[in-house]
């Protein structure tokens, strides 16, 4: 078994799960989630996005997409040892919306970016660090990143103040051998940074990938309760808690959240093991086509969907 004490579980159900249901979570659910994760010993809960409504052509989304500090104080009336984090996207966050850490309930701000925007991501990181926050840089879609792009990014990251650098498998296409390879590379080239893993479950490997990273010394481990996250979802919090065990963790409060809230949610919204998500994971592609397929009348025409994605006319041109 992996020693648990160096790891920090970061549960991102509200943030990543919000991509499934347009952040249609009740306050009661989020409060139960925070209480349950705290009782379970989970170190961080990501309570949403801190993007700016002004910078996004919104649609109707719940408040967890554009977190507001006053609202947050009404929801989280008693802060526990479980720290709170929020995610921001490059170009979608208005830094003026972010209070200094001492005036905020948030502890950690995570900056999501693609490899081409690492410089912009690090500028934001610097600002948030200066405001007193813990920070992470989450490099998305790593399965599409070229070696030379990574090496260039590492040079900038090494010079930066970022605390944690995340390996993100946005397309859920990675396997444990890829995690081995990437973690070894990140550890060698970013010796002073803590590492994190955010895995999607298209190939049903998110848990295997996460514990592979944990056994290699990755400290920040993302998960979501009942795997609720975009498309095939994430490594599940309950599996991670059971596997890492130790005195600090207790799975029971998380089972309570699932029983009370998430069985009905799973009936209402699609996430998890669905064939179109498996297909895009196997093809190492963004899940948007699978999400569109599942919202259409042809949702179960798997063969046609597969043929469309693999026919020569529709195969995207790859770089290099
Ligand atoms: C940066 C986040 O981890 C974004 C995300 O969920 C992704 O899969 O990409």
Ligand 1 midpoint to CA 276 (Å): 19
Query: Under a CB-based contact definition with an 8 Å cutoff, are residues 207 and 239 in contact?
Result: yes
For 172-228, write each residue's pLDDT tens digit. Answer: 999 999 999 999 999 999 999 999 999 999 999 999 999 999 999 999 999 999 999
Ligand 1 atom nearest residue 171's Cα: 8
b/e for 195-225, b at 16 or more Cβ within 10 A?
A: bbbbbbbbbebbbbbbbbbbebebebbbbbb
**CA 92–ligand 1 middle distance (angstroms):** 15
d(CA 117, ligand 1 centre) in Å: 14
Rg for the chain (alpha carbons), in Å? Answer: 19
pLDDT at residue number 319: 46
C-beta of residue 48 within 8 angstroms of C-beta of residue 15 = yes
State the distance from the centre of ligand 1 to the C-alpha of 169, rounded, in angstroms: 7
* Structural contact between residues 82 and 37, judged by C-beta atoms closer than 8 angstroms: yes
Q: Tokens in use for 13?
A: 């159900």
For the purposes of burial, counting CB atoms within 10 Å of the CB of 98, is it exposed (0-12), middle (13-18) or buried (19 or more)?
Answer: buried
Confidence of residue 40 (pLDDT cuts 50, 70, 90): very high
Beta bridge partners of 220: 8, 196
Atom of ligand 1 nearest to the CA of 198: 3
Q: How confident is the model at residue 315 (pLDDT cuts 50, 70, 90)?
A: low
Q: What is the pLDDT of residue 266?
A: 97
Per-residue pLDDT at 237 exceeds 80: yes
Calculate the alpha carbon distances from 178 to 53, 73, 157, 186 in Å: 36, 41, 21, 12
Distance from C-alpha of 48 to C-alpha of 33, rounded to nearest angstrom = 13
Q: CB within 6 Å of ligand 1 — which residues? A: 16, 112, 138, 140, 168, 170, 198, 200
ipTM of the complex: 0.93
Ligand 1: residue whose CA is nearest its atom 7: 170
Q: How far is CA 94 from CA 54, 67, 248, in A?
A: 8, 12, 37
């Amino acid at each position: 078994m992996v020693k648990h004490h160096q790891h920090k579980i970061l549960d991102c159900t509200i943030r990543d799960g919000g991509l499934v249901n347009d952040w249609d979570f009740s306050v009661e659910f989020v409060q139960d989630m925070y209480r349950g994760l705290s009782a379970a010993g989970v170190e961080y809960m990501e309570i949403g996005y801190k993007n700016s409504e002004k910078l996004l052509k919104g649609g109707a989304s719940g408040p967890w997409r554009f977190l507001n500090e006053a609202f947050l104080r009404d929801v989280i009336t008693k802060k526990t040892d479980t720290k709170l984090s929020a995610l921001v996207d490059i170009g979608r966050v208005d830094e003026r919306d972010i209070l200094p850490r001492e005036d905020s309930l948030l502890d950690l701000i995570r900056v999501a970016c693609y490899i081409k925007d690492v410089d912009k991501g690090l500028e934001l990181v610097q600002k948030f660090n200066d405001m007193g926050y813990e920070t992470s840089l989450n490099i998305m879609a790593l399965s599409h990143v070229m070696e030379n792009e990574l090496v260039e990014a590492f040079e900038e990251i090494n010079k930066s103040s970022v605390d944690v650098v995340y390996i993100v498998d946005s397309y859920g296409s990675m396997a444990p051998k890829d995690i081995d390879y990437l973690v070894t590379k990140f550890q060698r080239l970013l010796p002073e940074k803590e590492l994190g893993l955010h895995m999607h479950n298209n190939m049903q490997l998110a848990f295997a990938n996460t514990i592979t990273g944990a056994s290699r010394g990755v400290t920040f481990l993302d998960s979501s309760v009942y795997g609720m996250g975009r498309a095939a979802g994430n490594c599940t919090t309950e599996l991670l808690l059971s596997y890492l065990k130790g005195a600090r963790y207790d799975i029971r409060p998380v089972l309570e959240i699932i029983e009370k809230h998430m069985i009905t949610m799973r009936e209402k919204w699609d996430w998890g093991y669905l064939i179109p998500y498996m297909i895009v994971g196997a093809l190492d592609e963004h899940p948007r086509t699978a999400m569109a397929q599942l919202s259409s009348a042809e949702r179960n025409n798997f063969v046609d969907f597969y043929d469309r994605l693999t026919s020569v006319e529709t195969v995207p041109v790859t770089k290099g």
